[in-house]
Amino acid sequence: MATTHAPHVPLPRTHGPVTVRPGGLDEDLDALNAGNPFWWGKDFMVERIESSPPEDAWFILVGELDGLPVAYGFLLAKGVEAGGRAMADLWVLPEARGHGVGRALLDVMSAETGARGLPGLLSSVRDVDESSIAAVRALGCSEIGHHRESVLDLDTVDDAAVAGLVHRVEQAGVVLEPLGPDTSEDEWRRVYELVDTLWADTPDAEGASDSMPYEVWRPFFTSPDYVLVARRDGVPVAADMLMDRTKDDALNIMLIAVAPEARGLGLAAALMGRHAQLMRDAGHRRLYTQNMDQNTRILAANDRVGFRAESGFYDYAYDLA
């Protein structure tokens, strides 16, 4: 059961024909997000919210125009994004744009963010969506980074190349093992402890003040073999973690985490290549990943495994200062 939080900002808030009101999981969220490229479906949202710990303040907002729901806002008022910013998503149905609904939603989310002591909020926009880019710039948001989204057709994985990548790490005393149905809770937590120390070590999380709680992290893995662990002397030193991407009937890399003492061995490429083989053999067809342009090491590993860039998106921040 999800914990519902009361916003500090008084709602509903109405200005002319525009109203921003609290929303919930009983809304037709799929309809409100029609066309939103970052919307993974209501079921995905429900699973994430229901697994969140009680102290995580999350809010669903609905923007109305002349009494009709036309916009969606989501805010996780916690410093999980770069610079310790809150996580936000905002989508106005195309036919309702130009009436100030987006501005009204952003005003509420930024006020809530400030009331909780956070420096700002961060959201994303597809790099080919010129209309949305113009809109967020007009709202006063600043571009702070760009991600490439790449896809790997699992039928194209080069088994000989992967064997070479795996052999290299095995020569360094590292063994790659997927988690299984008999993996103990203690072992799951050992892997999480490795991951938890490395969240803020990625370029797009620089300056984040909070990481993903275990209660949220664990339910992403609907199959234990979605986590492939690299061990040296039995100790986890790296992991490749996948999650379902049901909107595209595919998988998505959630995070590749490599401990500093294990870097330089080619572990990221070996983990991705071996995991791709295992998922292909389990019947999956495609694997997606998202990486910032400046993360040159992981982009090179993507190339070695066979990923091809398909699209991209910008991160935009709205800072209260």
Within 8 A by CB and 6+ apart from 22, the residues are: 7, 11, 12, 59, 60, 61, 62
Distance, CA of 256 to CA of 265 (rounded, Å): 14
Same domain, 238 and 255: yes
User: In this structure, what CATH number is given to the domain that contains residue 48?
Assistant: 3.40.630.30
190-223 pLDDT per residue, tens: 999 999 988 877 777 777 878 899 999 999 999 9
Distance, CA of 29 to CA of 62 (rounded, Å): 9
Same domain, 85 and 234: no
- Does any domain span residue 6? no
Same domain, 225 and 102: no
Residue 39 predicted with pLDDT over 80 = yes
> Could you tell me if 225 and 178 are in contact, meaning their C-beta atoms sit under 8 angstroms apart?
yes
- Does any domain span residue 4? no
Residue 1 predicted with pLDDT over 70 = no
Same domain, 239 and 116: no
Range of the domain at 101: 13-140
Distance, CA of 275 to CA of 240 (rounded, Å): 8
Same domain, 211 and 111: no
- Does any domain span residue 199? yes
The predicted model gives 74-88 an average pLDDT of 96
Instruction: End-to-end CA distance of the chain: give it in Å, rounded.
Output: 36
Within 8 A by CB and 6+ apart from 117, the residues are: none
Same domain, 113 and 131: yes
> Could you tell me if 240 and 253 are in contact, meaning their C-beta atoms sit under 8 angstroms apart?
yes
Same domain, 176 and 282: yes
Question: pTM for this one?
Answer: 0.94
Same domain, 136 and 220: no
